[in-house]
Each structure stands twice: as C-alpha cells, then as structure tokens.
A and B are shown apart, each in its own frame.
Chain A
Amino acid sequence: MRTEAAELVFDEATKVYPGREGAAVHELSLTVPAGEICVLVGPSGGGKTTALKLVNRLIPLTSGYIRIDGKAIGDYNITELRRSIGYVIQQVGLFPHYTVEGNIGVVPRLYGESRSWIKARSAELLDLVGLDPSYAKRFPAQLSGGERQRVGLARALAANPPLMLMDEPFGAIDPIVRTRLQDEFLRLQGELRKTVVFVTHDIDEAIKIGDRIAILREGGKLAQYDTPMQILDHPVDEFVADFVGRDRALKALALQKLGDLKLGEGVRDGLPRLPAETSLRDALSFLLAERQEAAVVTGENGKPLGVVTREDLLR
C-alpha cells in the first residue's frame, strides 16, 4: 500500500458566521506535518468542528488560507478536494441503502474503478479495520455502533487519501469499545502514516491519539499547540492548565513507560517485577497498592533491566 501523506497548513484561517458576533475560528495558524495526527480539542464554542470543516470546504473560509501540500484549498476543484480527503463523522453517515462493500466503494466508483477492484479493495480495508470479510454484503442496519464506525473509517480510506478529517469519530461509542477503536486506530496509523486532523472534546482521547494537540478556547482562538507531553508539563496559561485538568501530572505519567526511565542498580529477589512497557502511572499505582518502595523492571523474556523506586516515578 502506498503510504503518502500531505502537509496541512492553517495560515490565519478565520471564520465569521454572518449575523453572529465574534469569530468562530480566529486567525488560526498551525502546521500539521505530513503523516502526523493533530488533535483539535477544546470546550464547546471553541470552533474545533468549524476549523475541521474549513479544510474540506464544507464551511467556506472568511479570510486567511489553508494549504494542502503548499496549494491553497481554494485553488482545488471543490469536488476533487473533497474526494481526496477522507472524512469521518461521529454519526458515521453510512448510506443505509448500500451494503458495506457499496459504502466503501462510493468514492472509487466515482473515480471509475472497476467492480473487481472495489471488491478487492473493500476486502483489504475490512481486514485493515478488523472486520471479517463476510461483512462486505451486510447493510448498515445490521451492524453495531462500533462496527459502523469501522466501516466509516474504511470508507474514508478507500481512495487512499493523503489527508483524513475525523470529527469526534468515537464520540457516540461506549467506553470499552471506544478504547479498543482508539488502540486499533493508532495501530492502523502506525502502518498508514496519514496526515490526520482529529476533533474531540475529550482531553484524555486527545492525549492518547495526538502527535500534537491544538487547544482552542472560546471564540476559536488557539491557546496552545504542542506535543501532549509539553502541554501536560508546561501549560501556557491558566485556561490550558484548567482544561487539561488538575490530574495533569498523573496524565503525564500515563504517557511515559518504565522503559523510558534511567533505571537504578540493586536488582534483588524480594522485589516485585514489572515489565518495561508498564506506564509510570500504572507502576506508581501498583507500588502504592502493594505498599512497596521499589520494583524490578523486566525486559524481554523477563530479563531484569534495573530497579525503579517511588522517588524515581515522582521526579
């Protein structure tokens, strides 16, 4: 599979709705490097969905520019632009009268791809999003919420777009399935390396999914655009600190793994053992629950790598 991705640039992009006071998106400037996931997050009224829909021109820009691979979106033919961008929404919007295969084939059919090509592509994508090939002939009404969103993702990927727009794609799905979909999406992105703009109102999802997070505040102003770790460690102001939550230190711990730390000496038999992939947060929780001061970190085949203490975790 081709793994192409496009660079996306917002350049003072502004949206003012006629008859409404203030901007929905105010002079938004940020660059999403090719192949990265940028999460737009913020309170309602922050303009994150508006910002997303500016990209495929579902909402027209008032002023400023948005460029894909250096070319302003206004210079693309609007239909071509939309067909070359994968679009996933919370309500999925599968076409009820098409089978799963028919839904996946919508854009390829418009491109004039053959039936057999679409059949093969649909099988490939179903496998990619973790659905059995037998799903190809089912109608959307026969799928669960999670399965529908998987098909929605497959449909968006069908024409192999270099850019994906995802508007709260997992927002309507129950927490357990949502976690699984997030994990699988990250695995998928590991293979495909698309450029992704992902809107959510859930800061935890943003931290988990994003390579970079853009926090928007009321009036569509960009409060901070940074990696999750930077945002947790160094929120630029009160608003961002508030938004990421009082437990931001714990969230930061959750982002790091024991294997990332510089480990101490002194491996001995009485200490509990934790694998290197354990997050710092889980490790701390374990030590507190077990009333232990330290644990042995183990690598492949349980080989001890070193010792981690409570002090190390809290530093």
Chain B
Amino acid sequence: MNGVRFAGGGVVIPHFHKPSACLLHNGWFCADWLRQHWGDTLQPDLIQHIKLTLLAVGIGFAISFVLALIGLRFRLLDLPLGAFSDFLYTIPSLALFVLLIPLTGLTVTTIEVALVSYTLFVLYRNIVAGLRAVPADVLEAARGMGLTRTETFLRVELPLSAPAILAGLRVATVSTISIATVGALFIAYGLGQPIYDALQQPDIFRTELVAGGGLAILLALTADALLALVQRAVTPWTRAR
C-alpha cells in the first residue's frame, strides 16, 4: 500500500521481560522501560530529530537570506515575498504534509520541505527587519570613510543585524523542533515516532508519550539556550549602557 500510513505501529511493551509494576499500571515515568529503550528507540530518534532540525533551519536560513537580500535590493518584491512566507506559515502542518506527499512522496524530503517552508516566515521577516534597521548615519559614515559595498555589508550591516537575525534563528529552531514531531505521522522519523507509538497503544502508553514529548521539549529549550549564548557572545555591544 502506498500513501498515508501511521508511523511505527506494533506493540512496544516488551514481552520477553516480566513487565514491571509501573508498566502494568501504565505509569507516567517507568524508568525500566526508558533504560531498556534508550538505545534502540529514543536515542536514534533524538539523533534523527537533531539532523532534521539542523538541515531544515540551515536550508531555511540560506533561502531566507537570499530572499531578504532580494527583497531589500528590489523594494517592490519585499511585499510579495513577505506575503508568500506569511502564507506558507498559515497552512496547517498536517495539511501541508499531505499536500506535499503527491510531490515528494513518503520521504524525509517531504518533512524537510514542510519544515523549511515554516522557517521562512520568521527568518525572512527578521533578516529584512535587522538589515533595514541599520541607522542611516552609520551607513553614511561608512560610505564617506571609503568602505566598499561589500565591506559595508560584511563589517557594518551584517554584524549590526545579528541580534535580530539570531532572535529569528532561535524562534525558527524551537518551532522547527516542535513541528517536526507532526511529520512522524506519515514518515517514521524523529521524535514524533515514540509519541505516535504511544498514542497507538490502547489507553495511550504514558511513559513513551512523556519520553518522546519530553525529549522534544528538552531539545528545543537546549537549542534555544545555546543560541542565546551565541547571541550574547557575538553582540557584546547590545549590553553596553
């Protein structure tokens, strides 16, 4: 059968061990299950999820950056480009996955394309806003001092818009990590898998749900904190008062 299917499937509760009391009562946090399945389920899913996110944010950033430069260079295009990224963002993720499947099939590419298209909204807006907010007097001084266009861009405009760009990257990364879980509904990949597996069990397998969801949240918050540290490190002047 080709087409839409559920991720995972099958019974996850191991039969070859005597189930613990916690598992029998469908507990929220059964340490024995987590220990047993960290290696064969959770860790590989987490690594897949990280790969998925890095690729989506990386590609999204590259596309947004080029689009932002186009939008800044040709003012007329800024409005349609902004509206387009806005439009992509408003398509519900579930629907977008379905709409993409006829084009890209049941592959990880489908998830990537959807995730990339969601990052454009935040990244495009933030890059444009950041570059546009560089004060006119600073640009005039740069020109008057004999900085070339490239020098002005690399030494003045880009660093000055770094706070806005990094803020956008933080939002995009956190959102991507969260939205990527939805993709596992169609394509078994990433931290969405344990979550769906859990939902598939009669009565919902609580420990796996908490493990998958918890890891996704933890990953998002860790990524956010790391990017916040980067932001702090590369923009010391924003704290000078």
Contacts and interface: CB of A to CB of B under 8 A. Distances in A.
Q: Say if the two chains contact directly (CB < 8 Å).
A: yes
B41 interface: no
Given A82-B146, A142-B240, A87 B141 contact: yes
A201 interface: no
B160 A80 contact: no
Contacts of B241: 141-142
Contact of A139 (B140, B143, B155, B240): B240
Interface string A63-106: 00000000000000011111111010101111111100000001
Given A82-B143, A82-B145, A82-B146, A97 B159 contact: yes
Contacts of B142: 93, 95
Given A97-B237, A141-B237, A58 B146 contact: no
A105 to B, nearest CB: 11
Nearest to A84: B146
Which of B135, B143, B237, B241: most chain A CB closer than 10 A?
A: B237
B137 A79 contact: no
A56 B240 contact: no
B151 A96 contact: no
A110 interface: yes
A315 to B, nearest CB: 46
Contacts, number: 80
A62 B135 CA distance: 28
A78 B139 CA distance: 16
Nearest to B235: A97
Contacts of A58: 140, 143-144
B66 interface: no
Contacts of A110: 146-147, 151
Contacts of B138: 93-96
Interface size class of A (residues with CB under 8 A): 20 to 34
B156 interface: yes
Interface string A129-148: 00000000011111000000
B71 to A, nearest CB: 23
B148 interface: yes
A165 B237 CA distance: 28
A9 interface: no
Given A79-B148, A89-B137, A96 B143 contact: no
Interface residues of B, number: 24
A79 B146 contact: yes
A268 B115 CA distance: 96
Contacts of A84: 146
A89 B240 CA distance: 23
A13 interface: no
Contacts of B140: 58, 89, 91, 93
Contact of B141 (A79, A83, A89, A138): A89
Contacts of A297: none
A106 B156 CA distance: 11
Interface in B105-149: 135, 137-148
Given A96-B160, A97-B159, A110-B151, A89 B237 contact: no
A41 to B, nearest CB: 21
Nearest to B240: A139
A107 interface: yes
Interface string B75-101: 000000000000000000000000000
Which of A78, A92, A93: most chain B CB closer than 10 A?
A: A93
A96 B145 contact: no
A139 B241 CA distance: 8
B3 to A, nearest CB: 53
A139 B235 CA distance: 11
25 contacts: A58-B143, A79-B146, A82-B145, A83-B145, A85-B144, A87-B141, A89-B141, A92-B141, A93-B137, A93-B141, A94-B141, A95-B142, A96-B160, A97-B159, A97-B235, A98-B237, A107-B145, A110-B151, A138-B240, A139-B236, A141-B237, A142-B240, A152-B141, A155-B145, A156-B145
- 3 shortest interchain CB distances as A-B pairs: A93-B141, A82-B146, A91-B137
Given A82-B144, A98-B237, 10 more contacts: A79-B148, A81-B146, A82-B143, A87-B141, A87-B144, A92-B137, A95-B156, A96-B138, A96-B160, A107-B145
